[in-house]
Chains A and B, each alone.
Chain A
Amino acid sequence: MSVDSILILVALTNLMLLAYSRLGASIRVTAAQGILLGLLPLVASPHAGWHAALIAVGSMALKGVVFPRLMFRALREAKVQREIEPFVGYNVSLLIGVAALAVSIWIGQQLPVPGATISSLVVPVAMFSILVGLFLIISRKKAVNQVLGFLVLENGVYTFGVGLIQHTSLLVELGVLLDVFVAVFVMGIIIFHISREFDHIDTDALSSLKD
């Protein structure tokens, strides 16, 4: 499996997230995306030693196992319905996703990365993940989905980091992973509290003030 095919599969998982209507399926797809990205440093530089291996194993364990468990627990405890209820319909989301992909490819051509990257697809796919993550955050009602959007966004940043793996330090990567872990953990707790307080996790309803 080459670097390019992993990156294309990541782009595909982004499109799937835009099209899926089930929360559970979306969580699984995000987990699959995390595992794919975890494989990336191993495939990109098989001889990079413990540096790459540590990042790979750490991010796969976090994004593939820990995060999905946290999210499913939040779902179970908040007793939410399984449908996503988007602001923007699935078809329009997909079309916007395709447009975002075209924009990311264009940006990737405009912004050549100084130094060597592992593949010419790194910058476009990273940009695409970031855009899709942002779009998921603003276009879905359920709080769980906004956590997923945040994870996809972080995956985009991570893709950048792996693409330049020769230049970034281990400390930065691990720091980012730790931050994300804490963020998802806290968000899981917040989702639970929101649902206990308001009997739902519909963020749209949170914007109106109450006495």
Chain B
Amino acid sequence: MTMQPATLIPPLLALALAPLLLGVINRTKAVFAGRRGQPLLQTYFDIWKLLHRGAVYSRTTTWVFRAGPVVGLACALVATALVPLGGVAAPLWFPGDLFLLVYLLAVMRFFTVLAALDTGSSFEGMGASREVWFSALAEPALLLALVAVARPTGSVSLSQILAGLTADQWVHAGIGFALVVGALIIVLLAENARIPVDDPNTHLELTMIHEVMVLDHSGPDFAFILYGAALKLWVLGAVLVGVMLPVHTGSAWLDMLVALAGMLGLAVIVGIVESSMARLRLLRVPQLLVSASALAVLALILAMR
């Protein structure tokens, strides 16, 4: 498989712009709350600052704790190489890569959980248990939604699926795609620890899910985790935008601009959801995730018909 230079554009954009999404989300929330808000580039500043700090390791931790952030970031980096954007294929694609994408995210989560358990802190164990519980329910929803999109295009490679989607299919089977988009949005919010599943700004360990697992990481390790989380948001967002806006105008520049606008729009939507909704009660979250699976199954059944 020869690699075309153009295929490097989606991962490079992801690497450069992923932290900006978090900035846009925070700015949207600030505008809704009537505040000025932190700078749009705050996540970049945070990562830069953390990279220049030293890391503190508890004596109870082992190498697993140190491996967690590194493996997590590595998984996120590989995942960015799998996801196309704006009609440009990803540098790495083969039949079945959508399963690799799903399980790369799973490995990333697995190592975060292991690192959290390695600290021996009871709070982190609680966060780890919740994270595993929710992601076990989010995973079938994500897989079923992706397969439902894959079915009409007859391919199991993300690049080919998203390249095969056309606005025509939206008109033809719009409601099936709408179901997929609904399921993917729920998965995106759940996987990235966003309201209504998890509150990224909470200050109470008892109510945290993702944040509590990374409390003990510091310095460069925490920078890796922040950057990995931003990349994960970008990756899932890129898949969602690919399904939502299958525009093929003919001009590669225009397609890419539409996709980037879609990503920023998605960040704004996430910000609006966070500003307008309260967090769900913990016991209600599985119901939301099962509903996402139900939507995806309905979409899949419609696609198979």
Number of contact residues on B: which range applies?
10 to 19
Indicate if the CB atoms of B286 and A91 lie closer than 8 Å.
yes
Q: What's the Cα separation between A97 and B179 when bound, in Å? A: 16
Interface string of B86-99 (1 = CB under 8 A from A): 00000000000000
Other-chain residue from B174, B290, B301 in contact with A91 (beta carbon distance below 8 A) = B290
Partner-contacting stretch, out of A11-19, A71-79, A139-147: A11-19
Q: A4-B175, A94-B294 are in contact. Are A105 and B287 (CB under 8 A)?
A: no
Q: A4-B175, A5-B174, A91-B286 are in contact. Are A19 and B291 (CB under 8 A)?
A: yes
Interface string of A150-172 (1 = CB under 8 A from B): 00000000000000000000000
Indicate if the CB atoms of A8 and B287 lie closer than 8 Å.
no
Interface string of A106-132 (1 = CB under 8 A from B): 000000000000001100000000000
Q: A98-B294, A98-B297, A102-B301 are in contact. Are A19 and B287 (CB under 8 A)?
A: yes
Q: What's the Cα separation between A102 and B294 when bound, in Å? A: 11
Indicate if the CB atoms of B175 and A101 lie closer than 8 Å.
no
Let me know if A186 is at the binding interface, CB within 8 A: no
Indicate if the CB atoms of A90 and B287 lie closer than 8 Å.
yes
Q: A4-B175, A5-B174, A5-B175 are in contact. Are A101 and B290 (CB under 8 A)?
A: no
Q: A4-B175, A8-B302 are in contact. Are A101 and B297 (CB under 8 A)?
A: yes
Indicate if the CB atoms of B291 and A101 lie closer than 8 Å.
no
Indicate if the CB atoms of A8 and B291 lie closer than 8 Å.
no
Q: A5-B175, A91-B286 are in contact. Are A105 and B301 (CB under 8 A)?
A: yes
Indicate if the CB atoms of B290 and A8 lie closer than 8 Å.
no
Which residues on B sit within 8 Å (CB–CB) of A105? 301, 305
Q: What's the Cα separation between A150 and B294 when bound, in Å? A: 23
Q: What's the Cα separation between A166 and B196 when bound, in Å? A: 47
Indicate if the CB atoms of B305 and A120 lie closer than 8 Å.
yes
Indicate if the CB atoms of B287 and A94 lie closer than 8 Å.
yes
Q: A4-B175, A8-B175 are in contact. Are A91 and B287 (CB under 8 A)?
A: yes
Which residues on A sit within 8 Å (CB–CB) of B305? 105, 120-121
Which residues on B sit within 8 Å (CB–CB) of A97? 294
Q: How close is B196's CB to chain A, nearest CB, in angstroms?
A: 15
Q: What's the Cα separation between A9 and B174 when bound, in Å? A: 12
Let me know if B298 is at the binding interface, CB within 8 A: yes
Main secondary structure of the interface of A (DSSP, over half): helix
Indicate if the CB atoms of B301 and A15 lie closer than 8 Å.
no
Q: How close is B185's CB to chain A, nearest CB, in angstroms?
A: 15
Indicate if the CB atoms of B298 and A11 lie closer than 8 Å.
yes
Interface string of B278-294 (1 = CB under 8 A from A): 00000000110011011
Let me know if A95 is at the binding interface, CB within 8 A: yes
Q: A5-B174, A5-B175 are in contact. Are A94 and B290 (CB under 8 A)?
A: yes
Q: What's the Cα separation between A121 and B305 when bound, in Å? A: 9
Q: What's the Cα separation between A120 and B290 when bound, in Å? A: 27
Q: What's the Cα separation between A90 and B288 when bound, in Å? A: 10
Q: How close is A26's CB to chain B, nearest CB, in angstroms?
A: 15
Indicate if the CB atoms of A101 and B298 lie closer than 8 Å.
yes
Q: How close is A90's CB to chain B, nearest CB, in angstroms?
A: 5
Q: What's the Cα separation between A95 and B291 when bound, in Å? A: 9
Indicate if the CB atoms of B175 and A15 lie closer than 8 Å.
no
Which residues on A sit within 8 Å (CB–CB) of B294? 15, 19, 94-95, 97-98
Chain A residue nearest in CB terms to B291: A19
Q: How close is B144's CB to chain A, nearest CB, in angstroms?
A: 10
Q: How close is B294's CB to chain A, nearest CB, in angstroms?
A: 5
Q: What's the Cα separation between A200 and B291 when bound, in Å? A: 31
A-B contact pairs, 5 of them (CB 8 A): A8-B298, A9-B175, A12-B298, A97-B294, A105-B301
Q: Which residues of B contact A (CB under 8 A)?
A: 174-176, 179, 286-287, 290-291, 293-294, 297-298, 301-302, 305
Closest 7 pairs between A and B when the two form their complex, measured CB to CB: A5-B175, A91-B290, A98-B297, A8-B175, A94-B290, A98-B294, A94-B294
